[in-house]
């Protein structure tokens, strides 16, 4: 739900309750917007980002993948200049 800063000042307890029960609440001041959200939801957002290292280490197993370069000659392309 969107709240103006003026309304948010008068309804802070309600905004916090809604953030805890229904999800994040947006509070706007002019063109700037902030979000009031439950700590558990915020913690999930910041904790769910895996590190690059873990992405590589937990990625697919390439055992058995044939990475040998083909020794076949290149195909002829009609109209190509050699």
Please give the pLDDT value at position 62.
82
Radius of gyration of the chain (CA): 27
SS3 label, residue 67: coil
Total number of domains in the chain: 1
**pLDDT per position as a tens digit, 4-47:** 999 999 999 999 999 999 999 999 999 999 999 999 999 888 87
d(CA 42, CA 70): 50
- Sheet containing 32-36: order of strands: 2-4, 25-29, 32-36
Greater pLDDT, 65 or 31? 31
Tell whether 63 is covered by a domain. no
65 in any annotated domain: no
What CATH number does the domain containing 49 carry? 3.40.1620.10
Domain contains 41? yes
> Which residue range is the domain that position 15 belongs to?
2-57
Q: What pLDDT shows up at residue 82?
A: 62
66 found inside a domain: no
């Amino acid at each position: 739900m969107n709240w103006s800063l003026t309304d948010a000042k008068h309804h802070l307890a309600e905004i916090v309750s809604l953030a805890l029960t229904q999800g994040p609440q947006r509070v706007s001041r002019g063109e700037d917007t902030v979000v009031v959200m439950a700590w558990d939801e915020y913690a999930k957002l910041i904790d769910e980002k895996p590190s690059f290292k873990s992405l590589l280490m937990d990625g697919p197993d390439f055992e058995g993948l044939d990475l040998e370069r083909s020794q076949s000659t290149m195909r002829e392309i009609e109209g190509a200049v050699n």
